[in-house]
Amino acid sequence: MSEDKQKKNQKKSQKKKKHKKKYRAFWILIRLQVLFLILVAAGLGWYFFGGYAQKVSALQQEAKKLVRESNEDTFRSVQTSLVYDANGTLVSTLKGEKDVYYLDYEDIPPYAAAAMVSIEDKKFYSHNGIDVKAIMRAAKAMLQNGKVTQGGSTITQQLARNIFLNHDVKWERKIEEMFIAVELEKVYSKNKIMEFYLNNVYFGNGYYGIQAASKGYFSKEVKDLDLSQIAFLCAIPNNPSLYDPVVRIKNTIKRRNRILNQMHEDGKISQDTCKKAKSQEIVLNPSQKTKNDYVETYTYNCAIRALMAEDGFEFRTEFASEEEKNAYQEEYDLLYSECQKSLYSKGYRIYTSIDLNMQQMLQATVDSGLAEFTEQTEDGIFTLQGSAVCVDNHTGYVKAIVGGRNQNLPGYTLNRAYQSYRQPGSAIKPLIVYTPVLERNYTPDTVVSDVKTEDGPSNAGGSYEGNISMRYAVQKSKNTVAWSLLEELTPQVGLEYLKAMNFARLDEKDEQPASALGGFTNGVSAVEMASAYAALVNDGKFREPTCIMRITDAQDNVILETQNEEKEVYKVNASRMMTDMLVSVIQEGTGRGLALNSMPCAGKTGTTNDNKDGWFVGYTSYYTTSVWVGYDMPRELPGLSGSSYPGNIWRSFMDQLHQGLPPVDFLPYMDEQKAPLDNQEYTTEVSPQEGIPEPELPEGGMAPEGEVPVDPAPGF
């Protein structure tokens, strides 16, 4: 075949291929279009015949009605929530201050509106209430990341949600929010919408509106703030919990810088202005607030968590990975912030278990018990602090809570009773060691060995007494015995009991024998200790600590009612045996001298190494009270032990509390020698013996308790 003919054939072949490709592409396009039409038709059918068209139409009509009936007063009104104690006495009121601090658009600094547009809604002045591209970007990001990572809501949508809707994540709410936003844009000007938004958006800590926030955080009117301070405030509303200036100011400053960068990119400020504003130090100057005391902060926290639970949120303390923990915390912060907002605007009636008479009694006892320590920080706060919590054993509800010494300082201060986590020392032993082993063929008379081992801890004073009864080991708080028993039980098993009682700051590194002596990575709170000991006197049944009994709306319609359900953590007989041994602690052990005047009582001391933390947790059949004493920044306090300042505070308060109450003995336990427990998984190395002679007390009548072999971590 000639070369020319070959070339002709090649050209024909190439033409045929191109022709086939052309038609193949054509038919693929046709098929895709047909498929698209089928999907659209299916979607429309699902929309109309599935009842969604009717729902959406109803939502649109509802949106039109809400906006049509609105006026400027709609964006100024707020309802006051009220908090009551167990006797019906008013504890506090919660009211947003937007009606007092409302600003007209002309009085709002231009930088505030510019900052919000740059960071929240760049197309605010051009869209009709919704930004379709922003919604598509948010949907795409959600599909890529498996979760919501960016918002698609415009400023108008946020206003619609804040004023007219709740914060459900249902599709109906989102659709109605968009309809309301579109209707708002038809009725009100852009400047009016911005005015409404900046006067209604939540800035955390009870502040609604930018003027209230400026007064609250800087004690200034917003017109007197500079660019850096305005951008700082505008950083908060995106997530008032994550960007809370009081507790997470570093986060707030990071977002302030991001806002300033966005304003520069949008041409609203120069590069030099941006750089100068970012370098400026932010110094908060909170406004003076009248407060009741620590009961308010705890009540608000409990109320918010109760509302979160009612909304379906599941609280967790364990996570498979750091990413899972971070995702949970992000979800927690968002919902916490939303429920916190509602306290200041929904007109709730919050009924609590707090008894203000008991509260004042506990506060006065803590104050007088530490009165000799007068050293203060530069802010005027006592350096030596204490916290205490009292739980009603019949109900499991918190009756009184003290988060520090009372100094009548402005605003709310740290509530150490539930916000500080400190090493518990030997006070943890009954919870993580002794009650668990009493479920496993141990009794108060079981012989255990008090000897120094190569890797084990020392006893206070360096003395070891060989074979002793477990009752005596608890009385004298023997570190060696608690350590070896937890090794036998395993730290993992011991910690499971604390996890079952929702101890919040446990760590994987706590799975070590040192936990038997309270050597935790983070520590425990006074609320946790009180509720855990209350489980012992309640026959091993744990009840989640709270002070919220019910929440109603302004018309007294019940929104939620707490049940305080019981969960079995320890077995009945083990709990009763533990109580009997803790009675011995007060009668003959490290708590000797702390017995109440006319009421059977049980308790345990706790002291960390170098006398940095002192605990006493004890109970009667009526009440359980935990007391902690120490410095906010841990340091040694000579003479501090569980039986000194904490024990004396406990005894003084409990004696007052039980005046006039008839004495009630603790329930007896079953003799394990006659009726052994079913669970025989763990056995003693030395068989139980009767009639073991108890060593005599050292001179002075009280043996010092053991020390924790590791330095306690800071309590925050």
Helix (H, G, I), strand (E, B) or coil at 277: helix
Count of CB atoms situated within 10 Å of the CB of 320: 7
Q: What is the mean pLDDT of residues 61-82?
A: 84
Rounded CA gap, 495 and 431, in Å? 9
Structure confidence by residue, pLDDT tens digits, 451-461: 998 888 998 77
Q: What is the mean pLDDT of residues 38-65?
A: 65
What is the pLDDT at residue 671? 74
Structure confidence by residue, pLDDT tens digits, 608-619: 988 999 999 999
Is 696's pLDDT higher than 80? no
What is the pLDDT at residue 462? 82
Measured in Å, how far apart are the chain's first and last C-alpha atoms?
A: 91
Structure confidence by residue, pLDDT tens digits, 324-374: 999 999 999 989 988 998 888 888 999 999 999 999 999 999 999 999 999
What is the pLDDT at residue 138? 55
What is the pLDDT at residue 292? 60
Q: What is the mean pLDDT of residues 589-611?
A: 95
Structure tokens, 608: 């960390």
Burial 548-570 (b: 16+ CB within 10 A, else e): bbebbeeeeeebbebeeeeeebb
Query: Where residue 44 falls among pLDDT bands split at 50, 70, 90?
Result: very low
User: CA angle, corner 102, sides to 96 and 104, nearest 5?
Assistant: 160
Q: What is the mean pLDDT of residues 192-206?
A: 92
What is the pLDDT at residue 101? 82
Instruction: Specify the residue for token string 């969960």.
Output: 567
Rounded CA gap, 475 and 590, in Å? 6
Which segment of 165-169, 491-495, 658-662 scores lowest on mean pLDDT? 165-169
> Which positions ≥6 away from 579 have C-beta within 8 Å?
536, 537, 602, 666, 669
Is 534's pLDDT higher than 90? yes
Per-domain residue ranges for the chain?
66-81+96-287
434: buried, middle or exposed (CB in 10 Å: 19+, 13-18, 0-12)? buried
Choice between 293 and 581, residue whose per-residue pLDDT is larger? 581
What's the pTM? 0.75
Query: Where residue 14 falls among pLDDT bands split at 50, 70, 90?
Result: low
Q: Which residue pairs from 102-106 have beta carbons closer than 8 angstroms and sit at least 24 positions apart in sequence?
A: 102/76, 102/199, 102/209, 102/211, 103/195, 103/198, 103/199, 103/209, 103/210, 103/211, 103/222, 104/195, 105/191, 105/192, 105/194, 105/195
Which segment of 396-410, 464-478, 661-675 scores lowest on mean pLDDT? 661-675
Is 450's pLDDT higher than 80? yes
Question: What separation in angstroms does the CA of 321 have from each of 147, 328, 503?
Answer: 17, 11, 18
Query: Where residue 712 falls among pLDDT bands split at 50, 70, 90?
Result: very low
Choice between 301 and 6, residue whose per-residue pLDDT is larger? 301
Q: What is the mean pLDDT of residues 636-641?
A: 95
Query: Where residue 21 falls among pLDDT bands split at 50, 70, 90?
Result: low
* Active site residue ranges: 120, 426
Count of CB atoms situated within 10 Å of the CB of 203: 25
Q: CATH number of the domain at 66-81+96-287, please? A: 1.10.3810.10
Which segment of 78-92, 265-279, 420-434, 618-632 scores lowest on mean pLDDT? 78-92
Candidates 412, 398, 444, 414; CA nearest to 564 is 398
Structure confidence by residue, pLDDT tens digits, 310-334: 999 999 999 999 999 999 999 999 8
Supply the mean pLDDT for the chain.
85
Helix (H, G, I), strand (E, B) or coil at 631: strand
Give percent of the chain with pLDDT exceeding 90: 65
Query: Where residue 693 falls among pLDDT bands split at 50, 70, 90?
Result: very low
Candidates 295, 449, 308, 371; CA nearest to 645 is 371
Is 424's pLDDT higher than 60? yes
685: buried, middle or exposed (CB in 10 Å: 19+, 13-18, 0-12)? exposed
Is 675's pLDDT higher than 50? no
What is the pLDDT at residue 150? 47
Highest mean pLDDT among 31-45, 81-95, 481-495: 481-495
Is 169's pLDDT higher than 80? no
Count of CB atoms situated within 10 Å of the CB of 665: 10
Query: Where residue 152 falls among pLDDT bands split at 50, 70, 90?
Result: low
Instruction: Specify the residue for token string 């906010």.
Output: 632
Candidates 512, 433, 427; CA nearest to 470 is 433
Identify the helix (H) or strand (E) that includes residue 567.
strand 566-568
Amino acid sitting at position 222: V
DSSP state of 607: E
Candidates 407, 403, 394; CA nearest to 527 is 403
Q: What is the mean pLDDT of residues 55-81?
A: 83
Which segment of 92-96, 448-452, 531-535 scores lowest on mean pLDDT? 92-96
Q: What is the mean pLDDT of residues 28-57?
A: 59
What is the pLDDT at residue 144? 52
Is 630's pLDDT higher than 50? yes
Choice between 702 and 45, residue whose per-residue pLDDT is larger? 45
Q: What is the mean pLDDT of residues 175-193?
A: 92
Instruction: Give the E-state strand segments of 583-649 in sequence order.
Output: 602-607, 613-619, 623-631
Identify the helix (H) or strand (E) that includes residue 349.
strand 349-352
Which segment of 14-23, 265-274, 556-565, 666-675 scores lowest on mean pLDDT? 14-23
Helix (H, G, I), strand (E, B) or coil at 348: coil
8 Å CB contact between 570 and 497: yes
Helix (H, G, I), strand (E, B) or coil at 389: strand
What is the pLDDT at residue 166? 61
Instruction: Give the E-state strand segments of 451-540 in sequence order.
Output: 466-469
Is 680's pLDDT higher than 60? no
What is the pLDDT at residue 140? 56
User: CA angle, corner 485, sides to 483 and 487, nearest 5?
Assistant: 70
Q: What is the mean pLDDT of residues 7-32?
A: 60
Structure confidence by residue, pLDDT tens digits, 207-246: 889 998 999 899 999 999 999 999 999 999 999 989 999 8
Identify the helix (H) or strand (E) that includes residue 93.
strand 90-94
Choice between 552 and 689, residue whose per-residue pLDDT is larger? 552
Query: Where residue 432 falls among pLDDT bands split at 50, 70, 90?
Result: very high
Identify the helix (H) or strand (E) that includes residue 447.
strand 447-450
What is the pLDDT at residue 470? 97
Query: Where residue 390 falls among pLDDT bands split at 50, 70, 90?
Result: very high
